[in-house]
Structure 1
């Protein structure tokens, strides 16, 4: 009671500050994530020709409609173009250039289509790149904090968008790139945690069990249980917990 609803609706509120009258939001979280949904631009085509390489080139307004130019490579172009014609997220698909290794297309967005960056950007994410991956889009973005990441995950879940975090790290890390050591998990723990996530172990209700994970890795259920606890503990200790609240862990 007494809370300002506007504060609750903006996940960035707790991350901002001011200095000399200038608002400051530190976009110190880099997220690489997979997003897919039949209404997201080109997803029906990407799903039909998943081995293709699609790269957006430019966005503009053409004949009163939002328009995208993009290139496609590594594709059976007969199949690709047939899928593009049937793609409900675009209209008036047009081949505008042919090169020895790729083709360039112009498409208008249908009224119901969404950009792959639409949901992240609506929550304040700074999207730095988007490229196709396994029938959807691999989006790299910078966020002002974990509250925005949580809001992004919730928004995608509420709208049935397939959202999966692939990498999560700070751009200020010493080596400048993501790595397991930053989160304190071993390679074996990372593989188990990723597999458990992909198999639905963390879903509610669960879609897989520790016994099924044990069969997948050829180990005992008790070994899976221990590795899951240690890996989860390492992730929480190195991401969410403050230094003073992180207890020492045996390896």
Structure 2
């Protein structure tokens, strides 16, 4: 299977205080806890953010605290190991409403995490104007969202030329994690850890992927007066 660079979408990073969204009481009692949503469900208002990974000193204590948090209607520990636990979550209506507003107008919630009493969301859209509508909808509903960053992201799409599957996976992960950003937000070591391969394998995939893209890009030059 082969791929080439094709589509550019817009990514927005949005913040919302836990006091206005979820886990306010939990942060009040365990301020050092960190949370990351696994498998965000953006368009199903009944099953938003179904799984949550937590990092804290005592998972059993955290579960007890979560059961008394007003934003949580039910939670179950799926797995736990050391200071990490994976929870199956049911959230209150207010939480579902926020996620629904963030996912309006063909936007998609890519990631959600929380630490130090603040939630961070990463949402994607093909239309930059859609983010203005999302922001206004949240503000109109009384949710004080703050836009931290908006940037363009290139997505690799299937084609009959260019990259192998491994090269595609590595390059797309590099794009997603900010390896090509200025300043760079990820290293080859970060990519190797995420993909579960050696640093050398990442370096080779990047070099070969870059070479393939350049060769295909140069194979059909366009007329240019410059």
Give the shorter-chain TM-score range: 0.5 to 0.7
Is 1:31 aligned to 2:12, yes or no? yes
Q: How many pairs does the alignment contain?
A: 151
When the two structures are superposed, what TM-score results if normalisation uses the length of structure 1? 0.48
* Aligned-pair CA distance for 1:84: 0.9
Structure 2 match to 1:74: 56
Distance in 2 (alpha carbons) for counterparts of 1:47 and 1:163: 20
Distance in 2 (alpha carbons) for counterparts of 1:145 and 1:178: 23
Distance in 1 (alpha carbons) for counterparts of 2:126 and 2:140: 22
* Cα distance change of structure 1 residues 46 and 71 upon mapping to structure 2, 3 Å threshold: same
More displaced stretch, 83-92 vs 67-76 = 67-76
Distance in 1 (alpha carbons) for counterparts of 2:8 and 2:108: 8
Structure 2 match to 1:83: 65
When the two structures are superposed, what TM-score results if normalisation uses the length of structure 2? 0.53
* Cα distance change of structure 1 residues 170 and 66 upon mapping to structure 2, 3 Å threshold: closer
Partner-residue secondary structure (3-state), 1:162: coil
- Over the residues paired in the alignment, what is the CA RMSD in angstroms? 3.5
* Cα distance change of structure 1 residues 71 and 163 upon mapping to structure 2, 3 Å threshold: same
Question: Which 5+ residue runs of structure 1 have no aligned equivalent?
Answer: 1-25, 180-251
* Cα distance change of structure 1 residues 171 and 135 upon mapping to structure 2, 3 Å threshold: same
4+ runs of 1 displaced by more than 4 Å?
75-79
Structure 2 match to 1:118: 100
Residue 43 of structure 1 contacts residue 136 of structure 1 at CA under 8 Å; is this kept in 2?
A: no
Partner of residue 116 from structure 2, selected from 96, 114, 134: 134
* Aligned-pair CA distance for 1:73: 0.7
Partner-residue secondary structure (3-state), 1:150: helix
Q: Tell which structure's C-alpha radius of gyration is larger.
A: 1
Question: Which 5+ residue runs of structure 2 have no aligned equivalent?
Answer: 1-6, 155-174, 184-226
* Cα distance change of structure 1 residues 153 and 57 upon mapping to structure 2, 3 Å threshold: closer
Distance in 2 (alpha carbons) for counterparts of 1:166 and 1:59: 20
Is 1:153 aligned to 2:135, yes or no? yes
Task: Please show how residues 170-189 of structure 1 align to structure 2 within 5 Å.
Answer: 170-172=152-154, 176-177=180-181
Is 1:52 aligned to 2:56, yes or no? no
Residue 29 of structure 1 contacts residue 142 of structure 1 at CA under 8 Å; is this kept in 2?
A: yes
